Amino acid sequence: AHFTFVAECDFTALVGHRASVRERAEAAGVRLTYLAYVFRALPAVLKEFPLLNATLDDERHEIVLKGYWNLGIATNTDDGLTVPILHHADRLGLFALAREIERLSAAAREHKLKLEELQGGTFTVTSTGTKGGVLATPILHHPQVAILGLHAIVKRPAVVDDAIAIRDLGNLSLSMDHRVVDGAVGADFLYALVERLQSPSAWLDEGDLR
């Protein structure tokens, strides 16, 4: 019972934050992507909505809630889609997450992943990257019960304070297993994530830039 919910996100403040710390990131040898911000925002929201950080045991008909946050990175390789796992994402700062995302993605493309780097995922993120796209329907990475799709972030007109303004907008698509996650819960989760991504300075502090 696979269904998808889509929400628009205004990334303007996040784009500005990334620009403001770009020199620091480059000095630290970090390629800071929007995906790193998503990975930094996710653990707190998953803790608020634990049903999305779970697996479904079909044999026992049990929902297994996870007390750790291991995020999968859907990566396109010559042999098809591979999902390396970034373990304990909640323990890492923004720059450290960016480094791990780049390292794991490169290892996947070069067929250098260790077995443990493919195991233990609790939630997966997929990004259309340079191909952009308005939205897609991400496919669940069984036995996980949810997967998030990050799509193109582009400048578009939007209504802000009753005036037309140019904003950096993009869509997030969340696919879920309806046997575990109801639509209302999924929508609340996605809007909580959107709220976090739209206001990065409200929760990112100096300690996160490591």
Active site residues: 178
∠ CA 46-103-206, rounded to 5°: 55
78 CA to centre of own chain? 23
Q: Identity (one letter) of the amino acid at 153?
A: I
63 to each of 15, 96, 106, 180, how far by Cα in Å?
Answer: 37, 31, 33, 7
Q: Secondary structure of the chain: what % helix, strand, coil (to 5)?
A: 40, 30, 30
DSSP 119: S
* Cis peptide, bond prior to residue 143, ω within 30 of zero: yes
Angle at which helices 183-198 and 12-27 pack, to 10 degrees? 60
φ, ψ of residue 88 to 5 degrees: the values are 50, 55
